[in-house]
Homo-oligomer: A and B are copies of this chain.
Amino acid sequence: MVKNCNFVEKLRDLGLRPTKQRVKMCEVLFNREKTFHFTINDLVKMISEEMNEKISLATVYNTVHAFQKKGYLKEISINSDKSYFDTNTSVHHHFYDEDTHQLIDCDENDIDPVNIKKNITGKKINSVEVLVKVASDNQTQK
């Protein structure tokens, strides 16, 4: 279990004032073995269930966006009615199960490096993300 103190330092390093709410959110998001994906709604639920804490929805939005801007969280490019975020900020790809709407991380062995041959003058590549959509194989393939 990482001490709160670390998050206080981390937040300060990011230029974010280490408020009670932000530290709590860090604990919920980053005090884990594994990285994971979540929606704002998931996160609010986690905060109230795991931490028995209530943080205003507006603050959760603000903080998630602040973390994202600082590169502490990553938004996932899936078209959906809601936004998905990822605590794994490294460059990696995803499988998306269209049946269950589950998002599955790939590691570097799952997909070979993508070779981009196009170049847009004056622009640099910020990220390359592959999304592999999968669905049930058998029966009446829709």
Q: Using a CB–CB distance below 8 Å, which chain A residues touch chain B?
A: 75-80, 83-84, 95, 97-99, 104, 106, 109-112, 114-118, 120, 122-138, 141
Contacts and interface: CB of A to CB of B under 8 A. Distances in A.
B129 A134 contact: no
A126 B104 contact: no
Contacts of A122: 136-138
A130 B116 CA distance: 10
Contacts of A133: 125-129
A136 B111 CA distance: 28
A75 B131 CA distance: 13
Contacts of A135: 123-124, 126
Given A78-B79, A79-B80, A111-B118, 5 more contacts: A109-B117, A110-B117, A111-B116, A114-B130, A128-B130
B112 A77 contact: no
A14 to B, nearest CB: 14
A124 B104 CA distance: 14
A90 to B, nearest CB: 15
28 contacts: A77-B77, A78-B79, A79-B79, A79-B83, A79-B84, A104-B120, A106-B118, A109-B117, A110-B118, A111-B114, A111-B117, A112-B115, A112-B117, A120-B134, A122-B136, A122-B137, A123-B135, A123-B136, A124-B135, A124-B136, A125-B134, A126-B133, A127-B132, A128-B130, A128-B131, A129-B132, A129-B133, A130-B131
